[in-house]
Structure 1
Amino acid sequence: MAFDLEDLDPRNKRTKPVNLDDMSVDALKEYVDALKAEIERVEAKIKAKQSHASAAAAFFKR
């Protein structure tokens, strides 16, 4: 069975907030785009994990 190394990371790991005061408008827009891309990546991972969990639940309900 394969596993994801990211699953071994502590669940409570928090990153420091980025200092927005020092960023230009263009830099802030780029930062927003990067955050949106990260949100899409996380949402895709959530959907994949939910799909796997649903498939496992359906398999074991037989």
Structure 2
Amino acid sequence: MVIAEDDDLPRPSQRRLAPLPLDLLGVAELRAYIGELQGEIARVEAEITRKSSHRDAAAAFFRKPG
């Protein structure tokens, strides 16, 4: 089994959303874009809550008594 030397190095962060050229959008379009981003933020926060709940349940299950 070959182990690469850089396996322990932190991975570079990946940009999830491509920056939108804001100077091409009007005020109404910018507000709509903000709404879309807020919707995506809410969706991601809900997923974080769901995953945290699962992690906490697993931790409680495997916790040593006493």
**TM-score over 0.5 for the pair:** yes
C-alpha displacement at 1:16, in angstroms? 2.3
Of 10, 14, 18, which aligns to 1:16?
18
CA distance in 2 between counterparts of 1:16 and 1:41 reads 18
CA distance in 2 between counterparts of 1:20 and 1:36 reads 17
Unaligned 5+ segments in structure 2 are 1-11
TM alignment of 1:1-62, pairs within 5 A: 12-14=13-15, 15-62=17-64
| Count of aligned pairs between the two proteins | 53
Report Cα offsets for 1:14-38 as digits up to 9, x if no partner: 1321110000111001000000000
Report the TM-score, using the length of structure 1 for normalisation.
Answer: 0.76
Report the TM-score, using the length of structure 2 for normalisation.
Answer: 0.72
Unaligned 5+ segments in structure 1 are 1-10
C-alpha displacement at 1:12, in angstroms? 3.0
Report Cα offsets for 1:5-57 as digits up to 9, x if no partner: xxxxxx83313211100001110010000000001001000000100000000
CA distance in 1 between counterparts of 2:57 and 2:23 reads 46
CA distance in 2 between counterparts of 1:16 and 1:43 reads 20
What secondary structure sits across from 1:21 in the alignment?
A: helix
Q: Percent identity?
A: 46
RMSD: 1.8
- Specify the structure having the higher radius of gyration (Cα): 2
